[in-house]
């Protein structure tokens, strides 16, 4: 593959400025390894931090790549979950040096309690933020990479009240970092699913992009085939951000976060009655659980962002990354050619 280099690729020995988002229960070892082999950063979705899942999937990633590509493997965790159980993070940082994650990404909570331990292990700290107000904690923690997540993103992110769109959040954070922490790298997250999005992220001042939904729909993803089929038939209009699926799944997410997924039948049934759902969730939960058990995605959740409207197939991760990189290069070249005319 013809590489596309930025400060991020130089710092992490990558061929393309793409990082696989650590997507809980989707970014397993096979997907992270495929991304690392393709020259991107492969972050296993430690997600809720379950130790056996993390051990199995991270070990699979290590076993699936050559030694050189191990340097492109890392892990992501949901920070407020680590406050309850940090054992998966501890396990990964205690691995032999050549197996330790090159990077640990923390999202949704205060990264400072975990930063010294991560730094001592030699792993780099990446912090996903949704607002400028979260930057000071991330920089105080010594984050080498800030991931600026807009509300377009699939999965958890900031609520409509608190959240920001990728298109304005990224350049504003880029300006802030240029003034206060110029060595700190910046990735854009939320809505980057093709070469246009990657080129736009770079134009907005990011050093690369963290890609979730696009790589969720790939051969190596752990996403259920029925969920992927539902996503491939959907458009960007078909997702919504709310607390519905967190309530149905008994996930106690703290404010200011909620969850973007396909706005399926069960979501529509409850989206205007969130308080009722919170106080009397039993029937809706039974409906949801039956949907999960039978693979009925009009009731079970399908976790994707607005970028789902740009996703029409589920090829191997290598192909996804190659297409995005080549297209971004071509678009950046085309834009620079405008200057000559």
Ligand X SMILES: Cc1cc2nc3c(=O)[nH]c(=O)nc-3n(C[C@H](O)[C@H](O)[C@H](O)COP(=O)(O)O)c2cc1C
**Residues in contact with ligand X by the rule CB under 6 A:** 21-24, 26, 45, 47, 76, 78, 107, 128, 149, 152-156, 189-192, 210-213, 216, 303-305, 307
- CB of 189 or CB of 247, closer to ligand X: 189
Q: What minimum distance in Å lies between the beta carbon of 178 and ligand X?
A: 23
Please return the burial class of 272, using the count of CB atoms within 10 Å of its CB with bins 0-12, 13-18 and 19+: exposed
Q: What minimum distance in Å lies between the beta carbon of 276 and ligand X?
A: 27
Ranked by CB distance to ligand X, the top (closest) residue is 212
- CB of 50 or CB of 273, closer to ligand X: 50
Q: What minimum distance in Å lies between the beta carbon of 283 and ligand X?
A: 26
Q: What minimum distance in Å lies between the beta carbon of 176 and ligand X?
A: 19
- CB of 100 or CB of 156, closer to ligand X: 156
- CB of 227 or CB of 273, closer to ligand X: 227
- CB of 177 or CB of 198, closer to ligand X: 198
How many angstroms separate the Cα of 297 from the Cα of each of 227, 228, 288, 300, 339?
6, 10, 9, 5, 48
Q: What minimum distance in Å lies between the beta carbon of 27 and ligand X?
A: 7
């Amino acid at each position: 593959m013809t590489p596309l280099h930025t400060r991020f690729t130089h710092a992490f020995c990558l061929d393309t400025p793409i990082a696989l988002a650590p997507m809980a229960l989707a970014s397993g070892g096979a997907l992270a390894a495929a991304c690392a082999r393709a020259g991107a950063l492969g972050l296993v979705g430690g997600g809720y931090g379950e130790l056996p899942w993390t051990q199995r999937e991270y070990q699979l990633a290590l076993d699936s790549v050559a030694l050189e590509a191990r340097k492109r493997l890392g892990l992501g965790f949901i920070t407020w979950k680590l406050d309850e159980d940090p054992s998966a993070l501890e396990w990964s940082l205690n691995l032999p040096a050549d197996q330790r994650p090159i990077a640990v990404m923390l999202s949704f909570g205060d990264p400072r309690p975990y930063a010294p331990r991560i730094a001592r292990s030699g792993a780099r700290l990446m912090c996903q933020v949704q607002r400028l107000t979260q930057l000071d904690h991330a920089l105080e923690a010594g984050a080498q990479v800030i991931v600026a997540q807009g509300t377009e993103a699939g999965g958890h992110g900031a609520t409509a009240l608190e959240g920001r769109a990728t298109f304005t959040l990224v350049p504003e954070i880029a300006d802030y970092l240029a003034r206060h922490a110029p060595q700190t790298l910046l990735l854009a997250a939320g809505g980057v699913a093709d070469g246009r999005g990657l080129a736009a992220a770079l134009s907005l001042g990011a050093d690369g992009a963290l890609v979730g939904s696009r790589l969720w729909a790939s051969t190596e993803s752990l996403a259920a085939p029925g969920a992927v089929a539902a996503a491939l038939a959907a458009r960007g209009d078909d997702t919504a951000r709310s607390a519905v699926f967190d309530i149905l799944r008994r996930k106690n997410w703290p404010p200011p976060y909620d969850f973007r997924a396909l706005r399926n039948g069960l979501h529509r049934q409850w989206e205007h009655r969130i308080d009722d759902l919170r106080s009397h969730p039993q029937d809706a939960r039974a409906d949801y659980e039956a949907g999960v058990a039978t693979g009925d995605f009009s009731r079970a959740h399908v976790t994707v962002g607005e970028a789902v409207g740009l996703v029409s197939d589920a090829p191997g991760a290598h192909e996804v990354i190659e297409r995005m990189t080549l297209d971004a290069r071509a678009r950046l070249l085309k834009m620079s050619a405008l200057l000559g005319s």
